[in-house]
Amino acid sequence: MFVSNIRIPKCDVRRSPQSPMIDIDPLKSYGFQRVTCSLQKMQTNEKLSVGRMFSVQDSLPKLPVPPLDQTLQKYLRSVRPLLTDDEYANTQKIVEDFKRDPGPKLQTLLEKRAQRETNWLSDWWTNTAYLEFRQPVTVNVSPGVVFPKQSYTDKEGQLRFTAKLISGLLDYKSMIDNQTLPVEKMGKQSLCMMQYYKILCGCRIPGKKRDTWVCYPPDEANPPKHVVIAHNNAFFFLEVYGSNNQPLSIEQIYEQLKNIVNQSMEPDIPVGILTTENRNKWAKAYELLTKDKENKASLQILQRSICVLCIDNKLPESAAGEEDSTAAKMMLHGGGSEYNSANRWCDKTLQFIVGKNGVCGLNYEHTTAEGPPIISIVDHVLDYCSKNENMTTPAPDLKPPKKLNFNITYPELRENLKEAEENIDSLVKDVDLTVFKFTEYGKNFPKSQKLSPDSFIQMAFQLAYFRLYSKPCATYETASLRQFQLGRTDTIRSCSIESLEFSKGMMDPTLSKQKKAELLKKAVTGHKNYVAEAVKGQGIDRHLLGLKLAALQNNMKVPALHMDVAYSLSCHHNVSTSQVPAKYEACLVFGPTVPDGYGVCYNPQEKQILLGVSAFNCCPETESRRFKDSIHQSLMDMKSVLEGSIQSKL
């Protein structure tokens, strides 16, 4: 928990005002202190004595508020391909009206907020995108990452890998604790490092209208020194440092894990399944659960932990060729109550999942951070695990692992558990997931054509959708705002007038390859320009959201612009995408953001592209495999037109 003397840049991590005061008396035996926290204290924190990791933090620019006219002009262009002529004419009028009133008033309110706050967006974003979201975090919010398959095939191998993974994680954590982690860069631009600081200590807590988020950073008086191990639905406290603050050796961790497994040979009460529930339902159950002192202590150990490690016992059978998609499901939702969905604590920021037969990866709760810091940990841990030598030495005064007890005293809680099982099982049935490796080429091909690989891939998604549905759709791509203090993300609206021209052109058999290549290049360039502006804080989606929230906060009504069909259509992302590059062959997955949409996460490597495509079975119009095939076809066709047009030039 935050305490007054933590030394972080004054801008940064803040406790949500709703966060409960925490009484952790039952943990005294583990040497934790009672700590209380206050938002006030957090806000008055003075500067961090800056190590390398935060060396440029305070000199990063503040997120700007873009000019109103610029946003409105871009907005009109972005909605054009989604609207009929009549709808567009109506939207033009609505935008003109907004420009006169209340646009300027709201813009002034936003500019004032930007002067006051370190980042005018970050708190609003945390609340609207995450803490106020009421659907389950499972599938809807928390992404999954599949690691390359490991070589272990039995329980001993599984536990040895887990032990090494924990050791690698602690090795990474020491760079956060000592602030020696190098500042991440995007081109020449340094990025905000605050997300790294929160990854190995954050947790979400369910609330009735809004969740809260707590964090126990490394430089508090008594920082967390334990992980939680989940096995057979039971949770165990495992201290991973000795009394001299030295991490346990790999062998020591392995022995502790063996002890844990021996204590949990039969499936336990599936309390963890509650964390996969709708947040309001989980909040109600949480309230009941915390009436019991022992439960409360167990919950606090989970929340205070560095991370959770899920040692899974079950793995569904996969049809040939489906193994990667099955693994991705284990990471995204755990396979339902019959498999591993109760062997999770989905509120915890980071859960490593070590499954049977070499299937492993992670799931992370998104409130705390974007993908790149998570992938930085993954790359480090996998590097560490691939080394043969063992540099660790035994640490003194090992504490035995301790099972976290949960007493299900209220009959309602039993019903909550049953209902949570039913709900996750139907969610699991609804998820349609396909992961695949496109091996024909990677970033190398678009680069050889002097085109941005990311924009090229985005145009493949546009064409893939158009090929299946003969129409364009609002498409989301994540743009990083981490060039700014406490920056998170904005939206890249990948569907554009140019992308539609390109998609139509590609499907037109009468057009020459030359002409198609021209349309492709124009669309790619248009997209790249949008990206360049979005990452500089000149995107439109967060600005429009800010204008709406400024109205609501000042007791004004929601502007007509935000009630218009153009706004809702352009925010209904039938394709929701994100690029997350990784060194390893990691496959990344997240769920669609609308019932009739696709989620596409891609990891472009030099000579191949790894993709995770999701959809919902309940929607008859979507199918992940069809979309995947269409992406494949689009990437092939795009290469062909570029190569064809070169030949025709010769």
- Euclidean distance between CA atoms 609 and 461, whole angstroms: 13
Nearer to ligand COA, 156 or 606 (CB): 606
Residue among 371, 401, 442, 446 that touches ligand HC5 (CB under 6 A): 371
Among the listed ranges 222-230, 247-255, 261-269, 366-374, the one in contact with ligand HC5 (CB under 6 A) is: 366-374
Q: Which is nearer to ligand COA, 33 or 448 (CB)?
A: 448
Structure tokens given for 192:
């905000």
- Sole binder of ligand HC5 in the list 79, 145, 159, 481 (CB under 6 A): 145
Written as six digits, the tokens of 19 are 């966060």
Among 19, 179, 576, 630, binds ligand HC5 (CB under 6 A): 576
Residues 424-483 that bind ligand HC5 (CB under 6 A): 476, 478
Among ligand HC5, ligand COA, none, the one that 496 touches (CB under a kind-dependent 5 to 8 A) is none
Of the ranges 58-66, 504-512, 575-583, 604-612, which one interacts with ligand HC5 (CB under 6 A)?
Answer: 575-583
Q: Which is nearer to ligand COA, 372 or 559 (CB)?
A: 372
Q: Which is nearer to ligand HC5, 68 or 433 (CB)?
A: 433
The residue among 81 and 604 lying less far from ligand COA, judged by its C-beta, is 604
Residue 454 beta carbon to ligand COA: minimum distance, rounded to whole angstroms: 3
DSSP-derived secondary structure letter, 558 = P
Among 35, 109, 427, 580, binds ligand HC5 (CB under 6 A): 580
The item of ligand COA, ligand HC5, none sharing an interface with residue 165, based on CB under 5 to 8 Å by kind, is none
The answer to the question of residue 588 lying near ligand HC5 (CB under 6 A) is yes
Of 367 and 423, CB closest to ligand HC5? 367
Binding at 480: pick from ligand COA, ligand HC5, none (beta carbon under 5-8 Å per type) = ligand COA
Of 539, 581, 583, 352, which is closest to residue 453 (Cα–Cα)?
A: 581
- From the list 366, 380, 527, 562, the catalytic residue is 366
* 110 belongs to the binding site for ligand HC5 (CB under 6 A): no
CB of 578 to ligand HC5, least distance (A): 3
DSSP string across 452-474: -HHHHHHHHHHHHHHHHHSS---
Using rule CB under 6 A, residue 122 touches ligand HC5: no
Which among 228, 510, 432 is positioned nearest to 348, based on CA atoms? 228
Answer with the entry of ligand COA, ligand HC5, none that 368 interacts with (C-beta below 5 to 8 A by kind). none
Where does this chain bind ligand COA (CB under 6 A)? 370-372, 443, 447, 450-454, 478-480, 531, 535, 578-580
**Exactly one of 374, 413, 457, 460 binds ligand HC5 (CB under 6 A); which one?**
374
Residue 72 contact among ligand COA, ligand HC5, none, beta carbon within 5 to 8 Å by kind: none
The pair of three-digit structure tokens given for residue 273, joined into one six-digit string: 């399944």
Asked whether 639 and 441 are in contact (CB, 8 A), the reply is: yes
Choice from 196, 590, 616, 627 touching ligand HC5 (CB under 6 A): 590
Please name which of 118, 175, 159, 109 lies closest in space to residue 260, comparing C-alpha atoms. 159
The pairing of strands 475-480 and 489-493 is: antiparallel
Judged by beta carbon, residue 366 or residue 516, the one nearer ligand HC5 is 366
Is 366 among the catalytic positions? yes
Residue with tokens 């002192």: 293
Q: Which does 593 bind (CB under 5 to 8 A by kind): ligand COA, ligand HC5, none?
A: ligand HC5
Nearer to ligand COA, 242 or 442 (CB): 442
CB atoms within 10 A of CB 72: 18
Q: Which helix (H) or strand (E) holds 310?
A: strand 308-311
By the 8 A CB rule, do 433 and 627 touch? no
- Please give the DSSP secondary-structure letter assigned to residue 205: E
Residues 599-618 that bind ligand HC5 (CB under 6 A): 601
601 binds, among ligand HC5, ligand COA, none (CB under 5 to 8 A by kind): ligand HC5
| The dihedral sign for the CA sequence 405, 409, 412, 414 | positive
Q: How far is CA 372 from the centre of its chain?
A: 9
Indicate the SS3 state at residue 367: coil
Our CB check for ligand HC5 shows the closer of 145 and 165 to be: 145
Nearest approach in angstroms of CB 518 to ligand COA is 16
Q: Which of 267, 440, 257 is nearest to 341 (CA)?
A: 267
3-class DSSP assignment, residue 359:
coil
Chain Cα centroid distance, residue 112:
30
Of ligand HC5, ligand COA, none, which one sits near residue 451, judging by CB under 5 to 8 A according to partner kind?
A: ligand COA
User: Alpha-carbon dihedral of residues 371, 375, 378, 379, nearest 10 degrees?
Assistant: 180
Which residue, 612, 575, 599, is CA-closest to 146? 612
539 binds ligand HC5 (CB under 6 A): no
Q: Select from 434, 370, 408, 411 the least CA-distant residue to 273.
A: 408
Structure tokens at 644: 């064809």
What DSSP string runs through 537-554? II-SHHHHHHHHHHHHHT
State the DSSP string of 209-251.
Answer: SS-EEEE--TTSSS---EEEEEETTEEEEEE-B-TTSPBPPHH
Residues that bind ligand HC5 (CB under 6 A): 143, 145, 370-371, 374, 476, 478, 489, 576, 578, 580, 588, 590, 593, 601
Report the catalytic residues: 366
